[in-house]
Amino acid sequence: MMKQSNYMSKSIRISVILLSTLCVACSSNKKQDSATIGETEKITINAEQKEKIKVKIKLTNLERDLLNIRTREDVANFLKKNNDIASTYMELPNAHKEAPFVEQLYQMYSHPAFKEFCNSVINYYGDYSDVKAQLEEAFTYIKYYYPDYKVPEIKTIVTGFKFNKDFYFSDSLIIISIDYFMGNRSKYRPDLFQYMLKRYDKPYLVPMIVTAISTKFNLSNTEDNTMLSEMIYYGKAHYFLERVLPNLPDSLNIQYSDKELREAHKYSHVIWGHFIEKKLFYETNHMEKQRYTGESPKVYVIGDNCPGRIGRWLGWQIVRKYMLENPHVTLQQLMQNKNAEEIFKKSKYKPSGKS
């Protein structure tokens, strides 16, 4: 492990707090997460409750349909049959009637390299049984907490990155551009920074979907433009994810490597000290907030090895501590709470320690 002086800047030191989560009306199952420091509680629904609300999803994979395209008429028929994708993800209603667009897709879909790419997706994902099982677990937990939630239909499609988006979301439909999630094994990768590409692989697919779904429940005060408000919003999203995917490793939740996650916990007092010293919690400058919560490979102002989005990670730890200190608060109440200041103060979060 690196010495503290090589990892992050100076900071204040206070007593160590081991992070855990607690849930009312749920049974808890303690597990050691190899990517965290100490033991955290993973929340599970008991088997009887889970069986009563078990969700089955409709997951449609369109890769094989694309492989069967041979003519322009095949393209038009595909677009007509899947007009929901054309009108939402492709943003062109009745695309099957647009001859120039049909021609563009025909040139792509009929190309041997595209056919090869489709086959590589099929070989990697197979029948999607593992993805489907994880999604069904997540939706079962969401239905447990939110009984009125309507589970959307899900479709996957290979797009050749033509439309520059990995997902489309609505209340009734999720469309996944599955070629984004092929990892390093893929001959073709989306045009993203290298530090972001590592997340575009199968293990991150379901966590990304569930994080996006959390926005439906995650309320915030739009008039509060502070760093703290943003941190708590992201913290609630990560906490939601760990509650509806209780077996998900923290590293996949926050999208850090195991090493990054271990060091974030080890140097949490350094991170905290930096935020206190620089008075960052009530910062409102957009560029300054982005430095800590936005996408970046590292937060170099804290240290050369401090992972990007560290403000989101810190917000998650604050929310975890808030739920530990306030066990009467339900997940639903947490997600509805727009008062970031209240969550912050009632969390009593103050990490410290010697490295």
pLDDT in tens, 55-102: 999 999 999 999 999 999 999 999 999 999 999 999 999 999 999 999
Domain boundary among 179, 214, 249: 214
- Range from 14-18, 262-266, 318-322 carrying the lowest mean pLDDT: 14-18
Bigger pLDDT: 14 vs 310: 310
Identity at 260, one-letter amino acid code: E
Judged against a pLDDT cut of 50, whether residue 29 lies above it is answered with: no
Bigger pLDDT: 48 vs 132: 132
Within a domain: residue 15? Answer: yes
* Stretch 237-244: mean pLDDT: 97
- Are 304 and 317 spatial neighbours (Cβ–Cβ below 8 Å)? no
Query: What is the C-alpha separation between 69 and 75, in angstroms, rounded?
Result: 6
pLDDT band at 26 (very low <50, low <70, confident <90, very high): very low
Structural domain span for residue 260? 4-45+217-347
Identity at 98, one-letter amino acid code: E
pLDDT band at 156 (very low <50, low <70, confident <90, very high): very high
- Report CA 66 to chain centroid distance, whole Å: 28
Within a domain: residue 39? Answer: yes
Query: What is the C-alpha separation between 234 and 144, in angstroms, rounded?
Result: 22
- Give yes or no: residues 239 and 205 share one domain: no
User: What's the structural domain count of the chain?
Assistant: 2
Model pTM score:
0.86
Judged against a pLDDT cut of 70, whether residue 145 lies above it is answered with: yes
- Give yes or no: residues 180 and 304 share one domain: no
- Give yes or no: residues 188 and 290 share one domain: no
Residue 65 parent element (H or E): helix 63-67
Within a domain: residue 80? Answer: yes
- Give yes or no: residues 89 and 126 share one domain: yes
- Are 274 and 354 spatial neighbours (Cβ–Cβ below 8 Å)? no
- Give yes or no: residues 243 and 293 share one domain: yes
Query: What is the C-alpha separation between 199 and 181, in angstroms, rounded?
Result: 8
- Give yes or no: residues 221 and 309 share one domain: yes
Query: What is the C-alpha separation between 91 and 349, in angstroms, rounded?
Result: 45
Nearest C-alpha neighbor of 11 from the set 281, 290, 302: 302
DSSP string, 67-111: HT--SHHHHHHHHHHTHHHHHTTS--TTGGG-HHHHHHHHHHHTS
Query: What is the C-alpha separation between 347 and 342, in angstroms, rounded?
Result: 8
- Give yes or no: residues 118 and 143 share one domain: yes
Sign of torsion, CA 298 303 305 307? negative
> Strand pairing partners for 307?
298
- Give yes or no: residues 225 and 209 share one domain: no
User: Could you tell me if residue 348 is left (phi over 0), alpha (psi between -120 and 50 degrees) or otherwise beta?
Assistant: left
Q: What is the pLDDT of residue 20?
A: 32
Within a domain: residue 309? Answer: yes
Q: What is the pLDDT of residue 130?
A: 96
Q: What is the pLDDT of residue 51?
A: 81
CA distances from 233 to 37, 170, 189, 237, 270 (A): 23, 21, 30, 6, 22
- Report CA 60 to chain centroid distance, whole Å: 22
Judged against a pLDDT cut of 70, whether residue 22 lies above it is answered with: no
Domain boundary among 155, 187, 214: 214
- Give yes or no: residues 34 and 107 share one domain: no
Q: How far apart are the first and last CA of the chain?
A: 10
pLDDT band at 353 (very low <50, low <70, confident <90, very high): low
Nearest C-alpha neighbor of 171 from the set 149, 139, 156: 149
Nearest C-alpha neighbor of 115 from the set 180, 67, 163: 67
Residue 154 parent element (H or E): strand 153-157
Q: What is the pLDDT of residue 48?
A: 81
Domain boundary among 190, 214, 238: 214
- Give yes or no: residues 21 and 87 share one domain: no
Q: Which residue has the tokens 């095949």?
A: 74
- Give yes or no: residues 161 and 310 share one domain: no
Within a domain: residue 355? Answer: no
- Give yes or no: residues 208 and 75 share one domain: yes
Return the percentage of the chain with pLDDT > 90, whole number: 81
Average pLDDT, the chain: 88
Q: Write b or e for each residue in 166-186: b if 16 or more Cβ atoms lie within 10 A of its Cβ, otherwise e.
A: bebbeeeebbbbbbbbbbeeb
Within a domain: residue 299? Answer: yes
Within a domain: residue 86? Answer: yes
- Range from 24-38, 66-80, 176-190, 289-303 carrying the lowest mean pLDDT: 24-38
